[in-house]
Amino acid sequence: MGYTLFVVEVLIALGSNMGNSLSNLQEATKRLGESYEVMRVSSVYETAPMYVTDQPIFLNAAVLVKTNVGPRAILARLKQLEQEIGRQVRHVCGPREIDLDLIAYGSASYRYVEGKTLKLQVPHPRVAERRFVLQPLADVAPDYYLPGIGRVSDLLKQTELQADSVTKLDHALLSIPSHQ
């Protein structure tokens, strides 16, 4: 008797505002392609920092990947990639060489708590308030439904007041890596 592997679509947000941000995003996208089947890659956006505003501007992007591994394994891989690319430990919402966030895992709502600490929640709990995440997500999956939150394209419309803080960079490109 054969087994059927599940395959799920996953949304990952990328951000950087330290070092060579475009190179950091390109390296992250390349390495994601070594672990997952990258289906779509967004444009790159220059975005104003949110929450902690006294820091350099960010470059943000998003990827849609397919995988057959669970959300905790994806989170572990994202954290490993951040370290490999050179992320330094700083304060929350502060500057970073690379930030890789698991935004959605198929149609699942998932929470992982270790002790009293929330380690992972998908869909990402603050995605609806972040145009810098939603704009790139709309490039790769505008009709993606985030369980309990809404459709990406509808959420993007709800952040219209932030539109001036997110600018598409036509000269900055990410390529879809071939899956190994």
Task: Look at the alpha carbons of 161, 124, 9, 26 in this order and tell me if their dihedral is positive or negative.
Answer: positive
Among 31, 77, 96, 131, the active-site one is 96
45 in helix, strand or coil? Answer: strand
Among 31, 77, 90, 101, the active-site one is 101
Please confirm whether the linkage preceding 123 is cis (ω < 30° from 0).
Answer: yes
Tell me the H-state helices in the chain: 21-35, 71-85, 131-140, 152-157
- Please indicate whether residue 96 is annotated as part of the active site: yes
- Please indicate whether residue 54 is annotated as part of the active site: no
Strand partners, 13: 62, 101
**Cα–Cα dist 38/88, whole Å:** 26
List CB contacts of 17: < 8 A, sequence separation 6 or more. 49, 55, 56, 57, 58, 59, 95, 96
Among 40, 54, 77, 99, the active-site one is 99
**Cα–Cα dist 169/22, whole Å:** 11
Is-contact 60 47, C-beta < 8 A? Answer: yes
Give catalytic residue positions: 87, 96, 99, 101
